[in-house]
Structure 1
Amino acid sequence: MMRSIKGLGGILAALTLAITMGGSAGATSDQRAGTFPTSISLPDGFRPEGIATGPGPFAFIGSMADGSIYRADLRTGHGTIISRGPGTPALGMKTDPHGRLFVAGGTGGDARVVDTRTGRVLASYRLATGPAFVNDVILTQGAAWFTDSTNPVLYKLPLRDGQLPAAAVRIPLTGDLLYGAGFNVNGITPTPDGQGLLVVQSNTGGLFRVDPSGTTRRVNLHGESLPDGDGLLLHGRTLYAVENGVTNKRSAVTVLRLNEAGTDGRVVRRCVTAGSTYRRPWPPSGPGSTSPTPASTPARPPPPRTPPSPSRAPERRSRTVTNVRRSSRSPPGRPAAARTSLASLVTFSVRMVRAIE
């Protein structure tokens, strides 16, 4: 069974990576001369979750089952597990120019840094001692920042002169953002001006700006929200926000236009994925809106860049998970094989467009 992704627009059409479950690890399908492979097979039971790209033409895919890291060559589709996991999940992931992969540990309450070349664990950090769900990570402002969907804190790894710290700094979240029952802060990304952070709260659909001190301020979305908000990706002043459909059964990528400070945003369009039951016409009337587009033919945001002759992945009917980042994770209990990580594919597409130009 395949969970296909449609209507995410030109940014996703640039390059789509299908992660095939249960196949021969490293095998590719539909690879034609002069094109990128359209699928990458993973080991049985891998349960892919987070994804990150680079340095070089590589993707790194984390296992929710045991935290192992699979490295795939995007030119050939072949890959292998380079780092065996500790038995707890590998969720949100980001790479840096030094060849380091920062991994959020989910229910393990930890984070680790892995060498992308050798798979060696360079450092491990205990972030929480009680219940926790270390969900996503972003690299900005000279630090790695991790969210926790259970506890109202951010975890900061200061990277002074690129050096890994001995321990993480725990930063309590104060201000407008209040934790409640359910799944709280999920995805994270910088503000357009680079002076703060943006986080989405899954159970309320709220988007919040976070100062480095931890003070939060609700972003004015002019009556809109991001229900089941998940991964976030910023490109200039355009924010792509995944809605994972955990509670309302509607999976979508919502495109917003932000002001420079990240305190105000307006929804430009909502791209609903295939199989969603959401049928609200989009966009709504009002300032900044465009002509309504039926949910069956979602509007397509223009790509930030156009790659040379990108190949489009054909639709399949095999057992496939289309892996896009969730830069963030769904709560425990939702079958991993039935999830799609939309934000990772957005991130992946943008970065690959840059890499191949």
Structure 2
Amino acid sequence: MKLPITILGAIVPALTMTIATAGPAAASDQRAGTPPTTLALPDGFQPEGIAIGAGPFAYIGSMADGSVYRVDLRTGRGAVFSRGPGTPSLGMKIDPYGRLFVAGGTGGDARVLDVRTGRILASYRLAAGPSFVNDVVITKGAAWITDSTNAVLYKLPLRGGRLPARPVRIPLTGDLRYGTGFNANGITPTPDGRALLVVQSNTGGLFRVEPSGRTRRVDLHGESLVEGDGLLLRGRTMYAVQNRLNVVTVLRLNAAGTEGRVVRRVGDPRFDVPATVAAFGSRLYLPNARFDTPATPDTPYTAVAIPTPGSARPR
């Protein structure tokens, strides 16, 4: 349906909304013999980031204390896999060596976990003052991490797969200008792999970022990704979570990532401010961060799965 959305005093252009139709609960999914589409998380967990590797396990980070919960996507069963340091665990990615990179939010740090044991392999102090270390992406030569408070990217060079001794701080220059609120958030490579794409949550802009830190606004042909959070790239299709809008926006990009067109926005009745997104099989998995719900030790949380939307514009 056509739906104008008002947020932060601005009107987001009318959009084509597709409502995903997934099973209502894990129990009924299991009776049907299919993997559950709703995953129960511990009460009070406050999920935000999600990462999925080659196996059927999702790793979900807690904003409350930084713990990481591992859930079997075949059964929906899970347990805390790594106890947190008391500061948040936000964006997460798994590299080909079975290492989980975790952005530390207000802790101003990042850490790397062994996905088999939960053991901390390395920890990095990224910022000395106020910060919001938000999301991470793995490329062939590095892990790149955003900071929503400070106009920098943090780079962890991964030469030969070895973890570095210290991070590299790369100032952001060019079109991306920081303002009040959450700035650089989700991050993903461009389709050609030569640069990065970063969404700015407070303005809705998408930016192409050179390895040098030079930024250029991506032409979205009048569209906005306001409240943009996690990003996921598959070929030239990018999935952008617009958290408080409760939608996954599907964009078709050119190879260089300098231009993109929104082809659809997908919602689901089970969305409750989803934050980030990861793919497994034919599904996208999104943790419900519930940012607008008071967080208590008894607040329930879930992650939900939807069919991966195609990149063709709906008729």
TM-score w.r.t. the length of structure 1 is 0.71
Displacement of 1:96: 1.5
**Matching residue of 2:192:** 193
**Matching residue of 2:27:** 29
CA–CA separation in structure 2 for the residues paired with 1:225 and 1:255: 12
CA–CA separation in structure 1 for the residues paired with 2:33 and 2:270: 32
Which runs of 5 or more residues in structure 2 are unaligned? 1-16, 272-278, 309-315
Describe how 1:275-290 pairs up with structure 2 within 5 A: none
Displacement of 1:142: 1.3
1:102 aligned partner, one-letter code? F
2:257 aligned partner, one-letter code? G
**Matching residue of 1:209:** 208
Displacement of 1:77: 2.1
How many residue pairs get matched? 281
**Matching residue of 1:101:** 100
Alpha carbons of structure 1 residues 145 and 44: separation in structure 2 relative to 1, 3 Å: same
SS of match in other structure, 1:324? strand
1:213 aligned partner, one-letter code? S
CA–CA separation in structure 2 for the residues paired with 1:40 and 1:197: 31
2:129 aligned partner, one-letter code? G
Describe how 1:103-118 pairs up with structure 2 within 5 A: 103-118=102-117
SS of match in other structure, 1:257? strand
Relative to its length, the structure with more strand (as a share) is 2
Alpha carbons of structure 1 residues 91 and 305: separation in structure 2 relative to 1, 3 Å: closer
1:199 aligned partner, one-letter code? V
Which runs of 5 or more residues in structure 1 are unaligned? 1-6, 19-27, 277-303, 311-321, 351-357
1:49, 1:341 within 8 Å by CA — same for their partners in 2? no
CA RMSD of aligned residues (A): 3.1
Match of 1:256 among 244, 251, 254: 251
1:48, 1:323 within 8 Å by CA — same for their partners in 2? no
State which drifts further: 259-268 or 191-200.
Answer: 259-268
Which structure has the higher relative contact order (CA within 8 Å, separation 6+)?
1
Describe how 1:265-284 pairs up with structure 2 within 5 A: 265-274=260-269
1:232 aligned partner, one-letter code? L
Deviations 1:229-279 (A, max 9, x none): 11111111111111122xxxx332222111110001122122345499xxx
Displacement of 1:34: 3.2
1:51, 1:60 within 8 Å by CA — same for their partners in 2? yes
**Matching residue of 1:4:** none
Alpha carbons of structure 1 residues 163 and 36: separation in structure 2 relative to 1, 3 Å: same
**Matching residue of 2:11:** none
2:186, 2:198 within 8 Å by CA — same for their partners in 1? yes
1:55, 1:95 within 8 Å by CA — same for their partners in 2? no
Displacement of 1:91: 0.6
Displacement of 1:335: 4.3
Describe how 1:209-248 pairs up with structure 2 within 5 A: 209-245=208-244
**Matching residue of 2:286:** 324
CA–CA separation in structure 2 for the residues paired with 1:89 and 1:73: 22
1:55, 1:96 within 8 Å by CA — same for their partners in 2? no
SS of match in other structure, 2:160? helix
**Matching residue of 1:183:** 182
2:250 aligned partner, one-letter code? V
